[in-house]
Amino acid sequence: MLPRTRLGWWLLALGALLLAAYPWLVPPFYVTLGAKALIWAMLAMSLQLLAGGVGLVSLGHAAFFGIAAYSVHLLTPEYESLSILVTLPVAILAAGVAALLIGALSLRTKGFFFLMVTLAFGQMVFFLFHDTACCGGADGVSVGRPALGALGVEWTLGRGDRSLVYYYVNLAIIIGLYLGLAFVLRSLFGRVLQGIRVNEHRMQALGFDVYRYKLAAFTLSGAIAGLAGHMWVMSDGRVNPELAGWHLSAEGLLMVLLGGLHALHGAIMGALALTGLNEVSQLITERQLLVQGLVVLLIVLLLPRGLAGLSLPGRRHKAEADDDD
């Protein structure tokens, strides 16, 4: 999941630099788009931890994204906004607790059933927001954006520079998230997750309570999806039920698949690529889904290791052949 060579880490750093330079190279509209793409990258990384790290495919992960977003709405008084130092921990906590509960029940099933149960829970959350009066119903509702700053000192952002600031906040989060997950994957905990992905039964026989390890990973992953949901509210200023819907869950998985299951940075590449693809296909045709579908199909067929498998083919194949299945 992580680069094995110094060169790999240098390439990642180069990628981060490119992302940092991006807003200066494109018109303002694309800065907004980039900021959103980085939020999708957060969501994709939360799924990557589960799918690539533990071998769990959840089809209900948008639920945690949505729960975090709606928790910001429920927390924030009308026509006001709260400090990010308040909203962010609450949103992450809400998503994490929801993931703990949903995970505790769903992880009693495996494989296909796990997929279906997470989908069912995800849709329950979707309809909770869609059909109840609490949060604006099907249309959603606007939310006071969490403010950067605390204790009365706030950074007031004009409409113009908002996107740029959000872009860099999101980029900083992505870098922090990558380093944090890199630590998790290299820890003794991460090694257990890898073992579970490869042979769950044997791990259990060796003395690992695999259910608890999977639940811990699921909760962590849900909390990260919550972080993404929070950042979405911040940049969009609205919530609507689609933020918790299965379509977003599936799109997150598509990003992971596109980027490659075997590398953590694949999630970021996949998210950026899919967002870019959506944009380009919208420009050239009205049948954008057709174009997207064909391109995704081609990438998956031609690059079984995803976009992340593209870099340094000769080196990577050899290095990863021992480790990944």
Partner 1 sequence: MTTEPILETFALTRHFGGLAAVDQVAIELRPGELHAVIGPNGAGKSTLINLLSGDLKPTAGRIRFAGREVAGLPAHRMAQLGIGRSYQKTNILRALSALENVRLAAQARHGQTRLLRIAGREASLVEHARRALARVGLAAEDKSAGSLSHGGQRQLEIAMTLATDPSVLLLDEPLAGMGPEETRHMVALLRQLAADHAVLLVEHDMDVVFAVADRLTVMVNGSVLASGTPEAIRGNAAVREAYLGEAVA
Q: Would you tell me which residues interact with partner 1 (CB under 8 A)?
A: 183, 186-192, 194-195, 198-199, 201-210, 321-325
Instruction: Provide, rounded to whole angstroms, the least separation between the CB of residue 54 and partner 1.
Output: 14
Let me know: does 196 contact 51? Beta carbons within 8 Å: no
Residues 262, 236: Cα–Cα separation, whole Å: 31
Nearest distance from C-beta of residue 190 to partner 1, angstroms: 7
Around Cβ 8, how many Cβ atoms within 10 Å? 18
CB of 55 to partner 1, least distance (A): 11
Least Å distance between CB 240 and partner 1?
38
| Integer Cα distance of 315 and 158 in angstroms | 47
Q: What is the rounded CA–CA span in Å between residue 235 and residue 77? A: 18
* One-letter identity of residue 121: F
Decide if 45 contacts 178 (C-beta within 8 A).
yes
Closer CB to partner 1, 180 or 237, in the complex = 180
Nearer to partner 1, 205 or 302 (CB): 205
The residue among 147 and 192 lying less far from partner 1, judged by its C-beta, is 192
239 touches 31 (CB < 8 A): no
Smallest gap from Cβ 299 to partner 1, in A, equals: 24
Give the C-alpha separation, 292 to 289, whole Å.
Answer: 5
* Nearest CB to partner 1, comparing residues 198 and 294: 198
- Residue number with CB closer to partner 1 (50 or 135): 50
